[in-house]
Amino acid sequence: MLELVGILLFAALIGASIALHELGHLLPAKRFGVKVTDYMIGFGPTLWSTRRGETRYGLKAIPVGGYIRMIGMLPPGPDGTSRPMSTGRFGAMIDDARRAAAEEVVPGEESRAFYRLPVRRRLVVMLGGPVMNLLLAFVLFAIVLVGIGLPEPTLQVRAVVACTPSASQSTEPLPSGACPTGTEASPAVVAGIVAGDVILAIDGVPATSWDEATAWIRAHAGVSAVFTIDRAGGVVDVPVVIATAERPVLDEQGNPTEEIVTAGYVGLSPEFDFVAQPWSSVPAYMWDITARSAVALLTLPVKLYDLVTGTLIGGEERAADSPVSVVGVSRIGGEVAAMDEPLEAKVATFLGLAASLNLFLFLFNLLPILPLDGGHVASALYEGARRRLAALRGRPDPGPVDTARLLPVAYVVAGALLLMGVVVIWADLVKPISLG
């Protein structure tokens, strides 16, 4: 039940992100006098719509994006008209698109066409959507960092690991309760440390943090030490013989790498407390996530290839960092809701996931290719530069860029994005990513 609630909530959050993205385009367009005929969430058949003034607002059947329709998105041809100017299949496509765009502009509303806006205003309209995703990501990250806080390990023991691990053996005991061959009971089990104990000191030195205590243990393999523990309000001294174990080296995010080192080991897992962060931490945190999202965006084609050839065709396990669709990310949201974790941990994970998604959408929509927002931004910047250069050379205004000529590229990109969406949705259905 909780998983279903989580899926629905995250789907609603994705819908809100799409709606706000399109609102980021709608508001400046209306403010600058552009006629907006449609504001739609989703694609395909219309499920519901209503008209307010000159704009129709509605929901469509396929909730994988949205759009607003502005009149005059394509300027007339180089001769200033929408008459056929090209030959061939692509030429006919371009001429048909110009003609359809011209038909949207009724007599008397020519000044309200999108292409008539100054370059700087077109930039504001087209950047409004991605910027809205960026602002939403900032708000969500701020709620997580400042309102909830980041989880930090405490000195209270949450769980005791049963067996001392090796590079090739699991720490999970056998069904009989014994440790697998080649391993033995962990020092924590032998010493009688239990969940709920709080480490006060090690060998008489006060323990100030879990990281400090862990670093001391890893550096003292084979040493006998006395752990001073607060147990249910009473202080006890527990002798512990620190084991020598093969442990993975952790990366900057705390994830295990393939490198193995020999270090001290006791077998304790900490409780976590959420510690509120200062407002100043939000930009730095977002910058770190942005850098990782940019790397993910650049490697998207490779990961998509691996998903198809390795997972869908080759039957391999799906990588945790493989591309994911709205279906998959909603499912992950449901899994977060169903986790056996404190409510604040679920909310922090849920909102952090939504914030990361919006940050990725911000970057993705800035790619300088049509039909993405970044393609329109690139066209406007090129037009502005061309006009500035003509003015400096004393030449006539070259007029708007003929973006209709880029439509074949836009159609190819749109088709590729559609195909990618179908592939990833299928992967999310047959081989979903699991947090477990």
Question: Looking at the DSSP assignment, which residues form a beta bridge with residue 64?
Answer: none
Distance, CA of 345 to CA of 83 (rounded, Å): 61
Cβ proximity of 248 and 256 under 8 Å: yes
Amino acid (one-letter) located at 313: I
> Catalytic residue positions?
22
DSSP 163: B
Cβ proximity of 322 and 248 under 8 Å: no
Task: Give the per-residue pLDDT at 29.
Answer: 95
- The answer for residues whose C-beta is within 8 angstroms of residue 340's C-beta and 6 or more apart is none
Q: What is the CATH number of domain 150-275?
A: 2.30.42.10
39 vs 14, which has greater pLDDT? Answer: 39
Model pLDDT for residues 56-111, shown as the tens digit of each residue = 999 998 877 899 999 988 888 765 555 555 556 767 777 777 887 788 888 888 88
DSSP 112: G
Enumerate the domain spans of the chain. 150-275
Task: Give the per-residue pLDDT at 88.
Answer: 62
320 vs 34, which has greater pLDDT? Answer: 34
Length of the chain: 436
21 vs 11, which has greater pLDDT? Answer: 21
Task: Give the per-residue pLDDT at 83.
Answer: 54
Question: Looking at the DSSP assignment, which residues form a beta bridge with residue 30?
Answer: none
β-strands 198-202, 224-231: how paired? antiparallel
Which pairs count as long-range contacts for 284-289, CB under 8 Å and 24+ apart, including other chains? 285/141, 285/145, 286/137, 286/138, 286/141, 286/359, 289/141, 289/355, 289/356, 289/359
Instruction: Show the DSSP H helices in 143-209 as ranges.
Output: 187-191
Cβ proximity of 219 and 202 under 8 Å: no
Task: Give the per-residue pLDDT at 108.
Answer: 86
Distance, CA of 173 to CA of 429 (rounded, Å): 33
| pLDDT at 435 exceeding the cut of 70 | no
Give DSSP secondary structure letters for 183-195.
--B-HHHHHT--T
Average pLDDT on 254-258 reads 65
Model pLDDT for residues 25-62, shown as the tens digit of each residue = 999 999 999 999 999 998 889 999 999 999 999 999 88
